[in-house]
Amino acid sequence: MENKLYLCIIKRNQRNIVSIMAKLENKSKDNPKLEQRFLADGQISLYLEYYLGRKSEPVLDEFGEPVLYESGKMAGTPKFKIKHVRRKENLNLYLVANPRTPIDRNQNKQALQLAKKIRQEREQELLEGKEGYRLKKDRQVDFLDYFQAYIDKYTKKDVRMVQIAQQRFKDFLNETPEYRKFAKSIKPEQLDRDMMMAFTEYLQGRSVGEGAKSIYQRFKKVIKYAVEHDVMLKNPCTGVVIKVDDQILRKDVLSLDEEQALINTHYDGENPNIRRAFIMCLYCGLRFCDVKSLTFSNVDYSNRLLKFEQNKTRGHSANSGVVIPLNDGLLRLIGEPTGDQTKDSPIFPLPSYEMCLKALKRWVKRAGIEKHISWHCARHSFAVNILNNGANIKTVASLLGHSGLKHTEKYTRAIDKLKEDAINSLPQIDITTI
């Protein structure tokens, strides 16, 4: 069969390849099966198709009642519809559809050999997962090492949050007596639903604001990736969630008086670029990633405008572009290119986020502000303060680069809470004297 499979792949006529492969596959009892897909670039992609059994569902009429067979041996019994459950796994292995050289043929041979080896391993793993099957091999994968390997090849912009998720999970194992034995090493199958429930409780008890939900989302991405690549047989996070009301502002905000106190505060060794950048965020509602990437080319000096694309939504949102009017104070804060600076030079040359956050916390403490302030609090403070001063919610949404009003509405609720706190701060009325 293997020789036939190889011979059919090197056929020049794709139609013949497809038809021959189909006949061979129909005879195969392998699970998973080795399949192929023709690509537009002339290559053949190899993948595995798993048969995971079938599900039967009763056939119901318009009133929700079972439909019965009317004749034959099954007369009087309910009808059922059968659904076959399959799953595909892309192997990232490719064949040359029309091999013309020894190199092409050798490439095809090696790719096929590797694909067959993977298929055999997957078949054994599939059997291992079945109840009563005892051909189970020792799994040597350490989930903590696997997590690190995932981070090492992770290329998306939220890599810092993935790293935080890894550290939080390590902290959880170290600080939870029940799971401390796994602090140095834990196998994928040792992660279960009970552990995930305990982990989510740990995150909610430790993290401020929506941080717990964000961290858990990144952790689940790693788990999902492990399941998809058969490192884990099942997902322990299924059904375990962290519920957060997205319409509630959970981070601290700075009042206008506190912002002024911060501006008036200096200390030895302060970084002027960090100081300027945070003030810019306070008065323009910028995220840290956006203020760090600003260059002088983003400033339209003649029209007094700041124009930029949000890093968070760039490439996948029509509302990624933001235009912010600049007053005299903001223009002075930005300045103009000097010396060896060009229009492509950063306006605020900043160190790492960690160093900026450390400097910010020191600055806030020196100003006598007893709040948990992060860089993102500047964005929240901007929104709350301008809404509190009478700005239209649609205008605020536009300045923040929101695609709709859903995310902006939480700031109106924050204002309502501030008003409620203000009223509750007044002395109680003594109605006995009225």
By three-state DSSP, how is residue 243 classified? Answer: coil
Residue whose C-alpha is closest to residue 312's, from 331, 275, 335, 287: 287
Torsion sign over Cα 11, 15, 18, 23 = negative
**369 in any annotated domain:** yes
Q: What is the DSSP letter of 368?
A: T
Mean pLDDT of all residues belonging to the chain: 81
How does residue 173 score in pLDDT terms, banded at 50, 70 and 90?
very high
Residue 191 pLDDT? 94
Whether the CB-CB separation of 226 and 267 falls below 8 Å is answered with: no
Residue 13 pLDDT? 44
Task: Kindly state whether residues 224 and 269 are assigned to the same domain.
Answer: no
Residue whose C-alpha is closest to residue 246's, from 138, 404, 359: 404
pLDDT above 90 for 307: yes
pLDDT above 80 for 11: no
- Structural domain harbouring 193: 143-228
Residue 414 pLDDT? 59
Pairing of strands 321-325, 80-96: unpaired
Q: Who has greater pLDDT, 379 or 66?
A: 379
| Domains identified in the chain, total number | 3
- Express as a percent the part of the chain with pLDDT over 70: 80
Residue 25 pLDDT? 42
Mean pLDDT within 421-427: 59
Task: Kindly state whether residues 28 and 109 are assigned to the same domain.
Answer: yes
- At 219-258, the pLDDT tens digits run 999 999 998 888 888 899 999 988 765 544 556 789 899 9
Residue 137 pLDDT? 42
**378 in any annotated domain:** yes
Task: Kindly state whether residues 28 and 100 are assigned to the same domain.
Answer: yes
- Express as a percent the part of the chain with pLDDT over 90: 35
Question: What are 270's two structure tokens?
Answer: 């302060």
Most confident of 179-188, 378-387, 424-433: 179-188
Whether the CB-CB separation of 394 and 404 falls below 8 Å is answered with: no
How does residue 3 score in pLDDT terms, banded at 50, 70 and 90?
very low
Q: Who has greater pLDDT, 398 or 223?
A: 223
Q: Who has greater pLDDT, 66 or 21?
A: 66
Task: Kindly state whether residues 320 and 346 are assigned to the same domain.
Answer: yes
**188 in any annotated domain:** yes
C-beta atoms surrounding 125 within 10 Å: 17
Residue whose C-alpha is closest to residue 294's, from 356, 263, 337, 355: 337
Element (H, E) at 309: strand 305-309
Residue whose C-alpha is closest to residue 127's, from 48, 61, 30, 208: 30
Residue 235 pLDDT? 93
CA dihedral 133, 136, 141, 147 (to 10 degrees): 0
**428 in any annotated domain:** no
Whether the CB-CB separation of 210 and 240 falls below 8 Å is answered with: no
Task: Kindly state whether residues 164 and 308 are assigned to the same domain.
Answer: no
Task: Kindly state whether residues 286 and 416 are assigned to the same domain.
Answer: yes
Task: Kindly state whether residues 418 and 343 are assigned to the same domain.
Answer: yes
Task: Name residues whose C-beta falls within 8 Å of residue 132's C-beta, 6 or more positions apart in sequence.
Answer: none
pLDDT above 60 for 132: no
Torsion sign over Cα 276, 279, 281, 285 = negative
Mean pLDDT within 371-390: 87
Task: Kindly state whether residues 176 and 43 are assigned to the same domain.
Answer: no
Residue 72 pLDDT? 78
- At 329-370, the pLDDT tens digits run 999 999 999 889 999 999 999 999 889 999 999 999 999 999
Residue 69's DSSP bridge partners are 75
Mean pLDDT within 215-222: 94
Between CA 242 and CA 198 the distance in angstroms is: 11
Task: Kindly state whether residues 301 and 409 are assigned to the same domain.
Answer: yes
Between CA 349 and CA 371 the distance in angstroms is: 26
Residue 165 pLDDT? 93
- At 104-126, the pLDDT tens digits run 889 889 988 998 888 888 887 77
- At 48-91, the pLDDT tens digits run 888 877 777 788 877 777 888 788 777 778 888 888 888 888 88
DSSP states along 139-189: P---HHHHHHHHHHT--STTHHHHHHHHHHHHHHHHH-GGGGGGSS---GG
Element (H, E) at 222: helix 211-228
Task: Kindly state whether residues 180 and 313 are assigned to the same domain.
Answer: no
CA end-to-end span of the chain: 99
Question: What are 416's two structure tokens?
Answer: 């309502």
Residue whose C-alpha is closest to residue 143's, from 128, 158, 165, 125: 165
